[in-house]
Chains A and B, each alone.
Chain A
Amino acid sequence: MKSTILYEGRHQWIAFGRDPDKPQKIIDTNQYMVVDERRSLLMDPGGIEIFSSMLAAVLRHTDVGRITDLFASHQDPDIISSLGLWDQALPHATLHAPWLWEGFIRHFGLNNIVYNALPDEGQTLQLDSAELLFLPAHYLHSSGNFHVYDAQAKILMSGDVGAALEPADAPMFVENFAEHVPKMELFHRRWMPSNRAKQVWIDRVRQLDIDYLAPQHGRIFTGDDVGRFLDWFEALEVGSAITAEN
C-alpha cells in the first residue's frame, strides 16, 4: 500500500491508499494517520480485506503500541469493518466514532478497544502536540458523521465529501480540477442525501483554514482546489435518487 506524507511538523499526517493487493471488486479507499510523539490516530482504517496491507503500511511509520486512537467517520464497512482485527492488535486503544452508530459498529467486534461516543456537536482530541477537531458532518452521507480537522497542519480529513470513483492506480492529488469533476459528480449526487446538510457543512468548513481536503476515496484537493471544490459542491443538487423517483 502506498503511503504519502501530507504534513511534517511536530506531528505527521500520512495518507495510505492505492493498494495493489486489494481485491478488484471492492472500492479503493484512503486511510489517514496522525503520528505524534507518543500517540497516533488512525482515521477510517478501512475494511477487513485491506487490513494486512494497511497494518504493514502503518507499522512502517510508527510502533503498534503508539497507535492509541482510532477514528471512524461513520459506520460503513469500507470505513471500519476491520475493527475486530484492530481490536486484536491494539487492545488498549480508543475508538472515536459517532454516538449514533455505537451499537452498530460494535457488530464488527469490539472486545478490548474503548468506544468514545462522539456527541453530535463534535469534540476535540489532544494527542501530544496535535490538537484535532472532530467536526460534525451529519448526513454527509451518514446520519451520524464526522470529519477531522487539524488547524496546525491545515488538513481536513473529509470522509466521503470530495470522494471520487476512479481506478486504484489514480494519482493521490487532484491535478486538474475541471477534469476531476466528472469523477465525483455521480458520487456526490447519489450518496449525499441532503442539500440543507450540505450547505450547513459548507458554511462551517468555509470558516476553516485548509491546505488539504483529504477524502476517503479518490484524490486529495490542495491549495485553490479546496475552494473550487467547495464552490462546486455548493452548486450541486444532491439526493439524486429522490429526484429520479419524482
Chain B
Amino acid sequence: MTGVAVRQRPFVTAAQLAGRLYGVLATARLMSLSASNAKGIAARGGERTAGFRPITDFITEMAHDTIALVSRINDVALQVSITSVRAMRAGAARERFATAAAMLSGYERETQLRAVISGLDRQLEECRRQEQTAMHKLIELFDDIEQRTRAAKMIVTNSRTEASRAGEFQTYLESIADSVEQAADSIRGEIKACRSYVSDLMEAISAV
C-alpha cells in the first residue's frame, strides 16, 4: 500500500451510476403500482373518492415519466462509459505512438506518426466534447426527476386531504399516500447518490 489514492476511471463511475439507477427504476415501478391500486379504489369509491382520481392520474404520469427519465439517464450514462473507454484507448494509443515517434526522432518518417497522433488528439477532443455534453444532459435529467419528486410531495398532502373525505376508503388511500411519499423520498435519496457520481465523473473527466 502506498497510501496514494487511485482515481477511479470515468467509465467505471459511469457504469456505477447506471447500476445505481436500477434502484430508482424499481421505486418508480412501485410508485406506478401504488397508483394503479389507488385508481382501483378511486373507481370503487364513487363520489366519495372522486377527488382522488386526478391525484392517481398524476401519480401514474409521474411514475411513467420517472421510468422514462431513468431510462434516458441510463442511456446517457452508458454513452459516457463507452466514450470514456474510447478516450482511454485513444489516450493509450497516443502514448504509444508518441513513444514510437520519439524512437524515430531524426528520421524523416517521424512526421508520418505526427499525423496519426494529431488524429488521436482530435478523437480525444471529440470524446471530451461528447462527455461534457452528456454530463450537462445528466444534470438536466436529474433536475427533471427531482422536480417531479417535489411535486409528488405536494400531491401526497392533497391525497391525505382527499383520503380524510373518503369514508371507508380512508385507510387504503392514506396507505397509498404513504407509499407514494416513501417512494418519492427514496427516489430523492437515490438521486442524491447519483448526483455524487455525476460530480465524481465531472472531476474524473476534467482530470484526464
Interface positions of A (Cβ within 8 A of B)? 48, 51-53, 55-56, 59-60, 63-65, 84-85, 88-89, 109
Contacts and interface: CB of A to CB of B under 8 A. Distances in A.
Given A52-B99, A60-B109, A64-B113, A85 B104 contact: no
A30 B191 CA distance: 54
A62 to B, nearest CB: 8
Given A60-B107, A60-B109, A65-B112, A88 B93 contact: yes
B113 A59 contact: yes
B113 A88 contact: no
Contact of B100 (A56, A65, A84): A56
Contacts of A88: 90, 93, 97, 116, 119-120
Contacts of A53: 100, 103
B89 interface: yes
Contact of A59 (B96, B99, B107, B119): B107
A52 B96 contact: yes
Given A56-B101, A60-B109, 18 more contacts: A51-B96, A52-B103, A55-B96, A56-B100, A56-B104, A59-B100, A59-B109, A59-B112, A60-B104, A60-B107, A63-B109, A64-B109, A64-B113, A84-B89, A88-B93, A88-B116, A88-B119, A89-B97
Contacts of B101: 56
Nearest to A84: B89
A55 B116 CA distance: 12
Most buried by B among A59, A60, A65, A84: A59
A64 B96 contact: no
Contacts of A85: 93, 96-97
Contacts of A55: 96-97, 100, 113
B93 A59 contact: no
A88 B89 CA distance: 11
Contacts of B100: 51-53, 55-56, 59
Nearest to A57: B103
B117 to A, nearest CB: 10
Interface residues of B, number: 17
B103 A56 contact: yes
Contacts of A63: 109, 112
Contacts of B89: 84, 109
The 4 A-B residue pairs with the shortest CB-CB distance in the complex, in nearest-first order: A56-B103, A52-B99, A55-B100, A59-B109
Interface in B74-119: 89-90, 93, 96-97, 99-101, 103-104, 107, 109, 112-113, 116, 119
Contacts of B109: 59-60, 63-64
B126 to A, nearest CB: 14
B104 to A, nearest CB: 5
Most buried by B among A48, A52, A84: A52
A107 to B, nearest CB: 13
Most buried by B among A51, A55, A85: A55
A154 B118 CA distance: 41
A56 B104 CA distance: 6
A84 B112 CA distance: 18
B107 to A, nearest CB: 7
Contacts of B113: 55, 59, 64, 89
A64 B116 contact: yes
Nearest to B120: A88
A45 to B, nearest CB: 13
Contacts of B103: 52-53, 56
A64 B120 CA distance: 16
B99 A64 contact: no
Interface string B4-29: 00000000000000000000000000
Contacts of A51: 96, 100
Most buried by B among A63, A64, A84: A64
Nearest to B101: A56
20 contacts: A51-B100, A52-B96, A52-B97, A52-B103, A53-B100, A55-B97, A55-B100, A56-B100, A59-B104, A60-B107, A60-B109, A63-B109, A84-B93, A85-B96, A85-B97, A88-B93, A88-B116, A89-B97, A89-B113, A109-B89
A88 B103 CA distance: 18
